[in-house]
Amino acid sequence: MDEMGIAERIGSITSEIYEKILLEDVRKNPVPRHIGIITDGNRRYARSVGISENEGHLRGKEKLEEVLEWCMEVGVRIVTVYGFSTENFARSPDEVEFLFSLINRAFIDLMKDERVHRNKIRVKVIGEIRRLPEYLQETIRKVEEATNGYDEFRFNLAIGYGGREEIINAIRKIARKVREGELEPDEINEEMFRQYLYDGSIPDPDLILRTSGEERISNFLLWQSAYSELYFSDVYWPEFKKTDFLRAILSYQARKRRFGR
């Protein structure tokens, strides 16, 4: 083995030891029950390493599979991922179609993946599903039906999603109820409002994590994130390592959540 190979091996061993230390520290304290993830930086990563943007998105999809495994390993039970925003519809038609095709294939693979059934992962899509291609809508219906009875782990993927649109849609539904005499204005409260969101059955995210160095939540889970802890990582999503993930959890555990009190 040459000197470079020895250095790489030493670096790998050091990284593995550090990862184990972080994992042991994480397991000493409660972890977030629900994590929201903004998977940012696929295109910039692709440009930085000289590959196509589509290849960058593909590596981002592979990274998501890894991160879901890390979440289950430490005991996180709900993950909501920002996969495709309403603003993303404005991207080039070729890129949008590639992303829809990639998501469609990922869902098809999910239904065949024994890990999904072994870990009882329930999959749900939140967003303006009617704006998606019919083939993707059909695949979404199938994967949701195939996993509907599972309750050990929840994986929500936000596609065609915008936080403002979610709130506006909820208001419209409630307004119709009031107009039709099925609901009195004084009956409207937070608990009731939650029922009209895309998925009102899950608790608010304890932690929202974003990669790529951008420090904003970009229209993601606006209602639900009122008291979420925020964590921003400098690395692009495809480069996000397990040590980065564990540091995010440790940062969350070090905070004192007051919920405005």
Is 87 marked within a binding site?
Answer: yes
Is 42 marked within a binding site?
Answer: yes
DSSP state of 203: P
Is 104 marked within a binding site?
Answer: no
Is 57 marked within a binding site?
Answer: yes
Is 44 marked within a binding site?
Answer: yes
Is 9 marked within a binding site?
Answer: no
Sheet of 121-126, strands arranged across:
121-126, 153-161, 78-85, 34-38, 207-210, 229-232
Is 189 marked within a binding site?
Answer: no
Is 105 marked within a binding site?
Answer: no
Q: What is the spatial distance between Cα 205 and Cα 37, in angstroms, rounded to a whole number? A: 10
Q: What is the spatial distance between Cα 171 and Cα 192, in angstroms, rounded to a whole number? A: 11
Q: CB of 203 within 8 A of CB of 34?
A: yes
Q: CB of 81 within 8 A of CB of 158?
A: yes
Task: Take residue 112 and report the two structure tokens written for it.
Answer: 């065949």
Residues with a known catalytic role? 40, 88
Which residues are documented as binding site for substrate? 41-44, 57, 85-87, 89, 91, 210, 216-218
Which residues are documented as binding site for Mg(2+)? 40, 229
Which residues are documented as binding site? 40-44, 57, 85-87, 89, 91, 210, 216-218, 229
